[in-house]
Amino acid sequence: MTDQTAKKRENKVLRRNEYYAIQDVFDGLYAKSKQGAIFTDLMSLITSPQNIALAYRRIKRNKGSRTPGTNMGTIEQIAERGNDILVDYVQRRLANYKPHPVRRVMIPKDNGKERPLGIPTIEDRLIQQCILQVMEPICEAKFHKHSYGFRPNRNTHHAISRFRFLAFTVKLEYVVDIDIKGFFDNVDHSKLLKQIWSLGIHDKNLLCVISKLLKAPIQGEGVPSKGTPQGGILSPLLSNIVLNELDWWISNQWETFPSKFPYRWDGDRCAALKKTKLKEMYLVRYADDFKIFCRNKKDAKRVKIAVEKWLMERLHLETSPEKSKITNLCRHYSEFLGLKIKLEERPKQNVIISHMSDKAKKKVTDKLRKALWDARGNEDKARNLNMKIRGMHNYYCVATRVSKDFWEIYFHLLKTLKHITRSHGKIGPPLSEFQKRRYGNYHGRRYLIGTVVIDPIYAVTFTIPYGFKQEICNYTEEGRQLIHKRLTHLEVIFRYLAEHPLQHESIELNDNRISRVSAQRGKCAITKKQLTVYDMRVHKIYPNGGDGYRNIDIVSRDAYELIHTKDIARAKELIEKLLSEGLWNENALKKTNNYRILVGNTIIE
DNA sequence: GATGTGACGAC
RNA sequence: CUUGUCGUCACAUC
């Protein structure tokens, strides 16, 4: 029992360390890529034990990890092999990579057609995950900020927020829609490899592996000449690499047009640009679904033709003329990510009107009717139904007129609702705590299945979609801080520290660590910054001075490195960074130097 | 904060 | 018999 828990804890600490070690490597890739570095040896990183271990853990938690590919392998069989054997296996496979064939599965799309999936074997999915982990930080640094699909920390609501911004705030009425015919199935392989190259990935071995991966034979169909397998782990990233070029091409026409003069503010730059022949255009893209915003119809027409031509010539992608169109937002709705959005003219300022798209509304109605029917007389399924309703509310609440849409849906479902539930009128049994919090001001009729109160279908309130904070990023310390809800509240930190003792240190040090954090009120001894548990390091004042309370200080990650680094250039870099964050002053320098002497380093500055 | 179930949405 | 990425939510565990 105690043995087991001890082992568990050991594992956890091991995993944490392993994760942090490799996270620093990914951070480094991101930073270097931002500076325009060229990467020639990524394969050694891809096949490193830490990377493979991380890939294994990531892939294990996927729902599909238990569904087999063309060989019957599932995650369990991989798990049995143990890490060392796994590492060895991946390294050997990649030395002369020959992907297994992918399994063909057809899944129905909502419009009745079928979408082909290509499911690689579990081993190949693992290898793709290894590659993804290394390529992603490099690519993320180069991607355009207004591409939102398949990217870490970004979602549809961010894209919708951008749409609102362009239509409402920038006041652009014309929207160009271009539909790429079967985008995923038509990606040009050699073009894609060139695009990867131009992102700074010059590792010939890696490019070779990717090329082979794209040409993995499809069961029953042979070797594909184009397209990236839908179902492959790497595919979403590859699709973004392809269309990233489009993002920047459009963006460089106006938004990020490389001008010779450093304009003092954006207004100046815009005014100057308006005098040129350039057309004003902005892009918002979610995977292969993108909109280009223009000021007037003439521009829109020209942009549409230009982009279609560019896609054909440059990326060898066909567009479908029936689905591509120009919309005047003041006259018609434009559909985007399940919503339809338009502008309504008002004397002072136009307002944004958004609804669920007709397709989405129908889909939601059908799904709920089915779930409702399914749930009759079964409380568990009724709770399940509530989750469905919540999920849908959660997504569509960013449409300004959602409540109207859901009222219609409710109206359509009324008959079913009455048929399968007991209605307790407006009083009924109390709402659950969650429902009270969420639908507090709902005073309508209540419907019950058994004792479960069904979430009020039309009680949705519009929630403004927030834009993406561009500083948020997985590959910088600052970016991660913004993701984590600040874990600075002291009680939470204490609990965490108690539960996660430092593995290689004594009990005494672990106890004193907690006391020290308390004494410093969770702040760094050098920079005085509020620390999160991930930013926290224990510094021993005298390296051989023991684990006593007076010999340790709590410092931030950066400060810790600053004390211990022998590399003066790196130290300067860190100081620069702290300076820019307003965390550096005379005192901090003095203190750092005191510490540096004690650990046997030279004084800085 | 990290794991793990379950659900929802976009593509 | 349905993959993948991303995001959100609830619950549980630490």
Q: Which residue has the higher pLDDT, A353 or A68?
A: A353
Strands, E assignment, A212-350? 281-286, 289-294, 325-328, 334-336, 339-344
Average pLDDT over residues A307-319: 91
Mean pLDDT of chain A: 80
* pLDDT value of residue A206: 93
Question: A469 CA, C13 C1': separation in Å?
Answer: 32
Position A264 scores a pLDDT of 46
- How much is the pLDDT for A10? 40
List, as own/partner pairs, every contact residues A164-169 make where C-beta atoms lie below 8 angstroms and the sequence separation is at least 24, other chains included: A164/A341, A164/A352, A164/A354, A164/A465, A165/A467, A166/A282, A166/A284, A166/A293, A167/A293, A167/A329, A167/A341, A167/A343, A167/A352, A168/A343, A168/A350, A168/A351, A168/A352
Specify the pLDDT at position A11: 43
Bases of chain C with protein Cβ within 7 A: 1-11, 14
Which residue's alpha carbon is at the shortest distance from the C1' of B3?
A: A12
Quote the pLDDT of residue A258: 56
Q: Judge whether residue A571 has pLDDT over 50.
A: yes
Statement: residue A84 has pLDDT above 80: no
Integer distance in angstroms from CA A391 to C1' C8? 8
Task: Give the nucleotide nearest to A236 (CA→C1').
Answer: C5
Beta strands in A32-182, from DSSP E residues, in sequence order: 103-108, 114-119, 174-177
Average pLDDT for residues A125-147, to the nearest whole number?
A: 89
Between A262 and A38, name the one with better pLDDT: A38
Q: Which residue is nearest to nucleotide C6 (CA to C1')?
A: A150
Nucleotides of B under 7 A from a protein CB: 1-11
Residues with CB under 7 A from strand B: A 57, 60-61, 63, 149-150, 155-156, 286-289, 337-338, 360, 363-364, 367, 371, 384, 387-388, 391-392, 394-395, 483-487, 496, 499, 533
Closest residue (Cα, C1') to C8: A394
* pLDDT > 90? residue A594: no
CA of A595 to C1' of C4 (A): 50
Q: Which two tokens stand for residue A561?
A: 């490195």
Instruction: Report the pLDDT value the prediction gives residue A428, as an integer from 0 to 100.
Output: 66
In angstroms, the CA A499 to CA A70 distance is 43
- Does residue A196 carry a pLDDT above 90? yes
Find the nucleotide nearest A387 (Cα to C1′): B7
Query: 10 Å Cβ neighbour count for A134?
Result: 25
pLDDT digits (tens, 9 = 90+) for A447-490: 888 777 888 888 887 877 777 766 677 777 666 656 554 444 56
At CA A238, angle to CA A236 and CA A240, rounded to 5? 75
Q: Is pLDDT above 80 for A401?
A: yes
Tell me the average pLDDT across A297-316: 90
Q: Tell me what the mean pLDDT of segment A37-44 comes to.
A: 91
CA dihedral angle for residue A214, residue A220, residue A222, residue A223, rounded to 10 degrees:
0
What is the rounded average pLDDT of the residues A382-387?
Answer: 81
- Residue A320's Cβ-side half-sphere holds a number of Cα atoms within 13 Å equal to 9
Q: Confidence band (pLDDT; 50, 70, 90) for A579? A: confident
Average pLDDT score over residue span A59-76: 67
Q: Which of A343, A376, A341 is nearest to A360 (CA)?
A: A341
For A105, list phi and psi in degrees, rounded to 5: -135, 135
Q: Name the residue closest to the C1' of B6 by its CA.
A: A384
* pTM, entire model: 0.75
Task: Measure the CA–CA gap between A347 and A509, rounded to whole angstroms.
Answer: 68
Residue A292 pLDDT exceeds 90: yes
Q: Is the pLDDT of residue A113 over 80?
A: no
What is the rounded average pLDDT of the residues A107-122? 78
Q: What is the ipTM of this complex?
A: 0.86
Q: Locate A89 and state its tokens.
A: 């296996």
pLDDT in tens, A265-274: 455 555 555 5
Tokens 């834009």, located at residue: A467
CA of A129, C1' of C12: distance in angstroms: 28
What's the CA–C1' distance between A125 and B4, in Å? 22
Q: Name the 3-class secondary structure at A469.
A: coil
Looking at residue A205, its pLDDT comes to: 92
Q: DSSP for A486-502, please give it.
A: PTT-HHHHHHHHHHS--
Distance, CA of A148 to C1' of C3, in Å:
21
